[in-house]
Chains A and B, each alone.
Chain A
Amino acid sequence: MSPPDLRPGQGHPGRVLALTGLVVALALIALWLSGGLSGIAAWAAAGQRQAQNLMAGALQSLRAGDPGAAATLIALCFGYGFFHAAGPGHGKLVIGSYGYGSQVPFGRLAVLSVSSSLAQAGTAILLVWIGLAALDLGREELTRLSERHMADLATVLIGLVGLWLVLRGARMLRDVARPGPEHDHHRHHHHGKACGCGHAHGPSPAQIAQTRSFRDGLLVVMAIAARPCTGALFLLLLTWRMEIFAMGVAGTVAMGLGTASVTVAVAGLSVWARRGSLALVPRTGPLAAAARWMPGAMQLGAGALIALAAALTLA
């Protein structure tokens, strides 16, 4: 599943499709702010509750020696991850804002979404394994460590993702405002507010779209992975005590993939909405100059949003 390739500059139908993405994203945000999505949250909680009870049954069948229960458990874990992610969560906030604000292509963002979910599963596995095997921690100490300290660490990292986007957005705006050495040849002619001379002055969107860095991806993955899912910790603790830890590890990875199924969708929507926002700017006429400011402004705005949300969570 990949959304159509919609670059704002590809003619009329592409532009309409891109704008639709923006409309869909705005409608979802409006629904959410007005409480219209609470039904989905309630549905997700009910689904999680059901998956949780069925997982208990599958675990007991496994212990009773029913090998078929392994596949059942894995499938339930995937469902648990899906329902868990359908509710509110920090992963979707980070992926969504990063996808909207930066110039990351959908494919790369989808890979990032899956990697973050799997890394999050890995954090849970490592935490339980080290906590139980090496440190001999109890259940309450482990969950407290995760709920309090690692959650705070994750929030700080999310804040850093936000500040990073703000910084880069601000830098892009500065570069647009101040002609760089690569367009020295334009210095001699004067740009009025309605210049409309029809050729590119700042870095073109295509050039900006090249801006991508490994550091970005690493920071995004770390911010999401730093806070393991408590449900996964429960499963791992449980299977450790039941001496079927390998099943717990497999189930945790399945939970991660279930979560990824939702974050990949969020990734697609955020990229689609970003293209819609860029398509808002007309390619000719007096407003065309705004195209140079848009990417930087969007990046700055999305970054400020995550940084603010992180700051308020810590406060």
Chain B
Amino acid sequence: MNRFARYLLAFGLSLAPLGAAAHPHVFIDAGLRLIYGEGGKLTEVEVEWRYDAFYSLLILEDYGIRPAAGGGLSASDAARLAGFDWDPDPAFEGALYLTVEGRRVGLQQARDFGVSLEGGQIVSRHRRALSTPIPGEAQTIIQVYDPEFYVDFSVPQSPALRGRDDCHVDLRPGDSYAAADAYAAALREALARELASASLLDEEMISVNIGSVGAPEMRVVCGAAR
């Protein structure tokens, strides 16, 4: 591939994010609670998703549910809605990612679904058990994001803790400015590599997980390791 073609390809790559679903259409405020069990290990995460009012209204109308203004859901409506936002396809990761020492921690399917309506906003809840509990002393990185960025997740508050009170949580709220910055940085790197005469097509393509970059991130560590 000659130099001109490579430049063209690099420039074309810079346009790629224009095409895909780069707009979020649903906005969710996520809340987490970390459950520590036997031996002080992190065993489970309770997840709460608070939807924006517009999407909430869409879901309610779609299910034919019309609560009184500012009112809550009846028990039967809540039961109908429970789990409405969970896709049992194993490829769906539930927008929750745990990492310990650089390795992804397996999470089980969600259970214990619950839905309520608060001030016109749907709040859905579920629990995810860890496939293997993690010692609380290991630093755990928790991220909340939709890889397709169809949903824009925010984490307004630090996760609550149950079962231990000696943990330190460092919440880095999402940085929506970061995604584009990261893409530009990756592109610059690729161009630099390119000029160092490596072929872009032979190397791995520029890949930035736009959803994860700048996603809200929490670092949790308990006990003496603090």
Contact = CB atoms under 8 A, between A and B. Distances in A.
Given A60-B120, A234-B25, A42 B177 contact: yes
B180 A38 contact: yes
A49 B27 contact: yes
Nearest to B15: A309
A34 B184 contact: yes
Nearest to A158: B19
Given A35-B185, A59-B57, A147 B21 contact: yes
Contacts of B182: 35
A90 B17 CA distance: 10
B58 A60 contact: no
B181 interface: yes
Contacts, number: 123
Nearest to B13: A312
A83 to B, nearest CB: 10
Given A56-B57, A234-B55, A139 B180 contact: no
Contacts of B54: 52-53, 55-56, 234, 238
A305 B12 contact: yes
- Among B11, B54, B181, B183, find the residue whose CB has the most chain A CB atoms closer than 10 A: B54
B179 interface: yes
Interface residues of B, number: 44
Q: Give the interface residue-count category, chain A.
A: 35 or more
B25 A35 contact: no
B48 to A, nearest CB: 18
B135 to A, nearest CB: 37
A45 interface: yes
A305 B184 CA distance: 18
B14 interface: yes
A84 interface: yes
B19 A309 contact: yes
Contacts of B188: 34
A155 B19 CA distance: 8
Interface of B: 8-9, 11-25, 27, 52-58, 61-62, 64, 69, 120, 150, 152, 176-185, 187-188
Given A87-B23, A241-B64, 9 more contacts: A37-B180, A52-B55, A57-B120, A89-B18, A89-B23, A93-B18, A151-B21, A308-B15, A309-B19
